[in-house]
Structure 1
Amino acid sequence: MAKKLVIIDTDCGIDDAQALMMALAAPNIQILGITCVFGNAAVENVCQNVLRVLSVCERQQIPVFKGSGVSLIGVSKPFSDHFGTDGLGDVIKDKDPQWKEKIQREHAVNAMIRLVTDNRDQVSLVALGPLTNLALAIRLDPDFPQKLKDLYIMGGNMEGIGNVTLCAEFNFDMDPESAYIVLEDFLCPTHIASWEYCCRNALTWEFFKELMNQDTPAGRFMKMITSKCWAYSKTAMRNKRDIYFGSGFVSYDAYAVAACIDASVVTENIECPVHVELQGSMARGMMALDRTNALKKSHSVFVMKKCDGAKFSQLLMKSLRQPPAE
């Protein structure tokens, strides 16, 4: 069986690292390249984080490309310390002084366009961070979305509940204009793992404990980078997620990758047009679902609603069982 060709666009924090490992462990996935974007950390840190994940999983042959360091309109926002200042919990001390030499010289957006053009109708694009690289790709090549097989996004929200502002999810809030462009102009089949979807399909902390005790390079790496991160602590101060959805382990970006690997992981979708709000002091960056097609848009997206927890758990567990322990 031919493998599914995938490009992963990431702002590699801890949950992105988990998602990357899930894709690397999937036998039906061939990653053509990993494109980096600002978000959980500065894009320079993101590049280093991706290289570290590939090294741990012994997959350094996969090309890594540096992309956008700021939002489409150039507005800089403070990086979240959700996953530490470097995106991986601030626990890695042996930084690679030669990391720049391991990044491809080609810009991430150009690489994305080239790889998709060379493999027309075959590439699934998985976006795990702000959508800046994707928005730039369609501005440089208006036919870019038509060349994609499909698009998977972790980001946005479906009930007006935000995790960084009153109404907006982090990835969309970091670059609302790019989110707007992507969801207006990308007409390929689009699947969205919203913030609420991830939270409502949280796993137990008992499973998290089992997951973090895998005696493999990937397992030990994940245990290390989550060791001091409050976002992965069940004893941390209750945040907005806990107030709305209850406590549980949520590896946000892995939900989008899981859907790309195995469509049956998603057991229920909402199919409707969506719109990203760009105005207002409270609703900017919010994704609105148009279930009655009041906006008369020409295309719909698939907003994930329910998840097969058992299948998702298996994919997460498999992600940390690589490479096998010696």
Structure 2
Amino acid sequence: MAEKLVIIDTDCGIDDAQAIMMALTAPHFQILGITCVFGNTTVENVCQNVLKVLSVCEREEIPVFRGSAVPLVGISSSGDHFGGDGLGDVIKDKDPQWEDKISMEHAVNAMIRLVSENQNQISLVALGPLTNLALAVRLDPCFPQKLKELYIMGGNMEGIGNVSLCAEFNFAMDPESAYVVLEDFLCPTYIASLEYSCRNSLPWEFFEELMNQDAPAARFMKTITSKCWAYSKEAMKKRRDVHFGPGFVSYDSYAMAACVDGSVVTESIQCPVHVELQGSISRGMMVLDRTNKLKKSHCVYVMSKCDTTKLSQLLMESLRQPRNKQPEK
């Protein structure tokens, strides 16, 4: 398989960590950088979380860039899905030197530079609010056409929300940026929505098997999910299960899996999409225009069905890290 150049844009919570680990185990991936954005927690915590994941997987050579701390418009807020720090509030050994390990270059500038240096070669995987991407196209209007492809975890297909009545978390955190990206990015775009992730959930028995593997990455994931309500079968009964039934969902892994292996996605809806900005109830909701009433020229691929067997294999492999450890003499 030909080498794939990748940039990961993340608001690193627990599911982002899982997705990043999946990327680290993809043998054909060359990760040029990881750009950080607010979302699951503050951008400062996101940077530290990414560094922690890379440290656990012994991949600290990958550059990390600090990006947007607030949305384009309005007041910044963070979610509580994964605790205050984004990784379950269980990590005690914080690195006091973390800022020295972050690149001095701003994430948006790094994104523009890397894409300009590798035109039509980079796959960009966006796992958080789309603020960095929106700023990139505002600074360089040609940025999207220099990308090979864009994968997004975010938005919804049916108006089912998880932070508001009608909006998915990543889009709800910065609706204006989601609007800008889905209007201005004309590159091939693939969206793993909230409903796609939840309708292709995995059994909780698989989650137990996944977390109980004997490897540093698996032990790390077991620790950070151990006290997190978002990974509680019981807590989900009054939340996600109401709409989708029981199951384990690692949201960001669905977008990453599609980038790693396109055959994981077995069905997609190709159509224009629109992000609602004005509605008092529907602000941040993604609308699928399947009959093209809006007369938009650009279509995206909204994933709808998943090969959960292949997804399971990618998830299992992602926690068998670090690789290439030399046996002790």
TM-score by length of structure 1 reads 0.98
Mapping of residues 42-61 of structure 1, within 5 Å: 42-61=42-61
**Residue number in structure 2 paired with 1:308:** 307
Mapping of residues 214-293 of structure 1, within 5 Å: 214-236=213-235, 238-293=237-292
In 1, distance between residues paired with 2:322 and 2:236?
35
In 2, distance between residues paired with 1:133 and 1:266?
26
- What SS does the corresponding residue of 1:70 show, helix, strand or coil? coil
> Any idea what the Cα deviations from partners look like across 1:204-261, whole Å, max 9, x if unmatched?
0010000001111101100000000010111225233210100100000000000000
Q: Which amino acid aligns with 2:290?
A: R
In 2, distance between residues paired with 1:308 and 1:80?
29
**Residue number in structure 2 paired with 1:171:** 170
**Residue number in structure 1 paired with 2:144:** 145
Mapping of residues 118-129 of structure 1, within 5 Å: 118-129=117-128
In 2, distance between residues paired with 1:270 and 1:188?
16
Q: 2:54, 2:60 within 8 Å by CA — same for their partners in 1?
A: yes
- What SS does the corresponding residue of 1:236 show, helix, strand or coil? helix
**Residue number in structure 2 paired with 1:181:** 180
- What SS does the corresponding residue of 1:235 show, helix, strand or coil? helix
- What SS does the corresponding residue of 2:293 show, helix, strand or coil? coil
Is 2:293 the counterpart of 1:294? yes
In 2, distance between residues paired with 1:228 and 1:240?
17
Query: Unaligned 5+ residue runs, structure 1?
Result: none
Q: 2:38, 2:129 within 8 Å by CA — same for their partners in 1?
A: yes
Q: What is the deviation of 1:74?
A: 4.3
**Residue number in structure 1 paired with 2:67:** 67
Q: Which amino acid aligns with 1:156?
A: G
Coordinate RMSD, CA, aligned? 1.0
Mapping of residues 307-326 of structure 1, within 5 Å: 307-323=306-322
In 1, distance between residues paired with 2:237 and 2:253?
22
**Residue number in structure 2 paired with 1:104:** 103
Would you identify which runs of 4 or more consecutive aligned residues in structure 1 move more than 3 Å? none
In 1, distance between residues paired with 2:274 and 2:202?
29
**Residue number in structure 2 paired with 1:201:** 200
**Residue number in structure 2 paired with 1:3:** 3
In 1, distance between residues paired with 2:40 and 2:17?
11
Q: Which amino acid aligns with 1:322?
A: Q
In 1, distance between residues paired with 2:169 and 2:79?
9
**Residue number in structure 2 paired with 1:14:** 14
In 2, distance between residues paired with 1:35 and 1:164?
24
- What SS does the corresponding residue of 2:234 show, helix, strand or coil? coil
**Residue number in structure 2 paired with 1:36:** 36
**Residue number in structure 2 paired with 1:117:** 116
Q: 2:230, 2:236 within 8 Å by CA — same for their partners in 1?
A: no
- Between the aligned residues of both structures, percent identity stands at 78
Q: Which amino acid aligns with 1:100?
A: E
**Residue number in structure 1 paired with 2:158:** 159
In 2, distance between residues paired with 1:45 and 1:74?
21
- What SS does the corresponding residue of 1:33 show, helix, strand or coil? strand
In 2, distance between residues paired with 1:81 and 1:304?
26
Q: What is the deviation of 1:278?
A: 0.2
Q: Which amino acid aligns with 2:24?
A: L
In 2, distance between residues paired with 1:116 and 1:72?
22
After superposition, the Cα gap between the structure-2 partners of 1:237 and 1:305, relative to the gap in structure 1 and judged at 3 Å, is: closer
> Any idea what the Cα deviations from partners look like across 1:65-99, whole Å, max 9, x if unmatched?
0000000124222x222101000000000000000
In 1, distance between residues paired with 2:319 and 2:173?
30
**Residue number in structure 2 paired with 1:86:** 85
In 1, distance between residues paired with 2:16 and 2:123?
17
In 1, distance between residues paired with 2:234 and 2:303?
29
In 1, distance between residues paired with 2:57 and 2:137?
32
After superposition, the Cα gap between the structure-2 partners of 1:289 and 1:260, relative to the gap in structure 1 and judged at 3 Å, is: same
